[in-house]
Every structure is written in C-alpha cells, then in structure tokens.
C-alpha cells in the first residue's frame, strides 16, 4: 500500500521547521529517519497532510559534552550514537543500546529523536533514557522546555509532545568514574524489537555496591526504572547470590500484561534472566577495571 497524499516541506532551519509545525498543527508531522513513520503511512496508520523533513537541520545531529552531561541532538542516527567516541566514553550504556537497534540499514537512517517520539515500549533509546534519567529539550515556535524522559514517555506510542512541538536533543548524565554498564535483550529474530530488554549501571566502592541503576523495557507500556529494587541491594558484595537475588526481585517488580503469543510469565522470566546477565557482565567489567 502507498501513503495518502501529503505536502512535503524541507525547512532549512529549526525556526522554519517550528513555523511549519505551528502553522499546520496536528495536520503536520516531522519526519527524520522515516523508519517508523513511512511504514505507518504506507499502512495508513498515519496520514499527515504535511510532512516536515528535518534532514537538512544538521545542527540537530550534534553530539557534545555540556558540563557534566552529554547532549545528543535529535537527528543523531543510531549508528552515529553507537560509534561516537564521546558517547562510548561518557555514556557507554547509550552506545551499547544503540548498537543493538534493528538492522544495519535502520541504524543508518533511524534517529534518536524519532525513536523517542515514536515511543515503542521496547525501544532501546527509551529504555536507556529512562534508566539514566535523560532530559529532553523540546521546542515549539517561541518556546522551549526541558522534560525528564520519565515524564516524556506517557504510554505505548504516546508522549508529552504537543502537535506543534519537536524534540531538539536529549542530555544524559556522564558516567561517574568507575561506573560500568551493560545492556541485554531478547528478541525472536535478529533485528526485531526486544521482547524484554534490560539496562544496568553499577559502581563499586571497596568491593561493595555503591550505586546501581536498573531499567526494564518491554514489560510495561513504557520502560521502568526499578529504583526500589536497586536501593535494596546497595552496600553488599556483588557475588552470585547477590546477582540472583536482584534478578528475582526485578522479576517480582514487573507486572507485564498477558499477550496471546507472549504470556506475562514469560516476560517475567526473561526479566530475571536478562537482569542476571546484565549484572554478571557489570561485575565482570568492574573486576577487570579494578
């Protein structure tokens, strides 16, 4: 099937893009990599009368350090995020997530902003953003606002974006000295969205857990950060029993919905397994760095 007819706009500046969105409101949609929007248009699940193409706004592809945070522009492609030396050094979890997205062709075109705005419950970028406490800068004509990732992602495929608003960038806290991270996911076939994905960061002090962040994607309409689980396991030595106990607690903390092809019990089991694998990898990295 082919999309319904639309007008195509190719703004040369962010201001021009925001003017177009303000003028056409809910009849317009930005298009970035097109990897989600074009299939939706072809299936007539989306029929915007106006497409506002962001691809000439090269300033939105920038990746840079801003004080103690790493700022990634909305137009940064998944491959650029995965391979950026700045991301790998200062926010390795983000690079680890980005390199597992879809297939090569999708990583070449798909963008950070497009993925966050699309808000798939199992998307890598949404999970990493929630796990790390990313802040998104949104803009509409004449106004900007900063929103926490957890407040931006409202439900499956639903965000806090107004129709005339776009994502400019996301900023992530830089990894603390000694902090390690791991991303683990399970999908049915290579390149598919995860059934469940897990993101973790860990820092040790004197062989004991000083900080732990755990995020789970695919087990609820939006990614969850399991702070209550993580806080119960600080100050302990991260041996095999610790890993198994955290993984069991994570399994108990998620409440996925039953799906005809993916029972809730299966997602819970995957959560336990993937948390255990992610933490084992974090511990391995911490020991190697010690």
Ligand X SMILES: Cc1cc2nc3c(=O)[nH]c(=O)nc-3n(C[C@H](O)[C@H](O)[C@H](O)COP(=O)(O)OP(=O)(O)OC[C@H]3O[C@@H](n4cnc5c(N)ncnc54)[C@H](O)[C@@H]3O)c2cc1C
Question: Which residues contact ligand X (rule: CB under 6 A)?
Answer: 29-37, 39, 54, 74, 101-102, 106, 109-111, 113-115, 117-118, 120, 123-124, 161, 166-167, 191, 193
Q: Which is nearer to ligand X, 80 or 247 (CB)?
A: 80
Instruction: Give the nearest distance from C-beta 203 to ligand X in angstroms.
Output: 27
Q: Which is nearer to ligand X, 123 or 279 (CB)?
A: 123
Residue pair 207/213 in contact by the 8 Å Cβ criterion: no
Nearest residue to 201 via CA among 171, 170, 238, 169: 238
Q: Which is nearer to ligand X, 35 or 181 (CB)?
A: 35
Instruction: Give the nearest distance from C-beta 257 to ligand X in angstroms.
Output: 20
Cα(183)–Cα(151) distance, integer angstroms: 22
Instruction: Give the nearest distance from C-beta 107 to ligand X in angstroms.
Output: 8
Q: Which is nearer to ligand X, 32 or 219 (CB)?
A: 32
H or E element that contains 70:
strand 69-73
Residue pair 263/183 in contact by the 8 Å Cβ criterion: no
Instruction: Give the nearest distance from C-beta 8 to ligand X in angstroms.
Output: 13
Instruction: Give the nearest distance from C-beta 92 to ligand X in angstroms.
Output: 18
Cα(77)–Cα(99) distance, integer angstroms: 11
Q: Which is nearer to ligand X, 35 or 271 (CB)?
A: 35
**Which 3 state secondary structure label does DSSP give 77?**
strand
Sheet of 69-73, strands arranged across? 63-66, 69-73, 166-173, 135-140, 143-148
């Amino acid at each position: 099937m082919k999309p319904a007819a639309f007008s195509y706009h190719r703004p040369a500046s962010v201001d021009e893009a925001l003017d177009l969105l303000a003028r056409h409101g809910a009849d317009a949609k930005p298009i970035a990599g097109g990897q989600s929007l074009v299939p939706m248009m072809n299936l007539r699940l989306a029929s915007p009368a106006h497409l506002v193409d962001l691809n000439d706004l090269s300033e939105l592809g920038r990746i840079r350090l801003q004080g103690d945070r790493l700022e990634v522009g909305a137009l940064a492609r998944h491959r650029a995020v995965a391979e950026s030396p700045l991301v790998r050094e200062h926010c390795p979890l983000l690079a680890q997530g980005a390199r597992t997205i879809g297939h090569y062709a999708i990583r070449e075109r798909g963008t950070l902003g497009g993925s966050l705005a699309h808000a798939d419950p199992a998307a890598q970028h949404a999970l990493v953003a929630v796990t790390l406490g990313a802040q998104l800068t949104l803009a509409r004509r004449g106004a900007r606002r900063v929103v926490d990732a957890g407040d931006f992602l409202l439900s499956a495929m639903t965000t806090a974006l107004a129709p005339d608003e776009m994502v400019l960038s996301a900023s992530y806290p830089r990894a603390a000295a000694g902090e390690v991270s791991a991303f683990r996911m399970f999908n049915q076939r290579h390149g598919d969205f995860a059934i469940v994905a897990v993101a973790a960061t860990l820092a040790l002090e004197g062989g004991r857990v000083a900080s732990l962040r755990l995020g789970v994607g695919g087990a609820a309409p939006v990614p969850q950060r399991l702070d209550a689980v993580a806080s119960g396991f600080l100050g302990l030595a991260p041996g095999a029993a610790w890993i198994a106990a955290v993984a069991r607690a994570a399994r108990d903390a998620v409440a996925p919905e039953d799906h005809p092809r993916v029972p809730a019990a299966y997602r819970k089991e995957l959560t336990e397994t993937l948390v255990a694998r992610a933490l084992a990898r974090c511990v391995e990295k911490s020991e190697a760095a010690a």
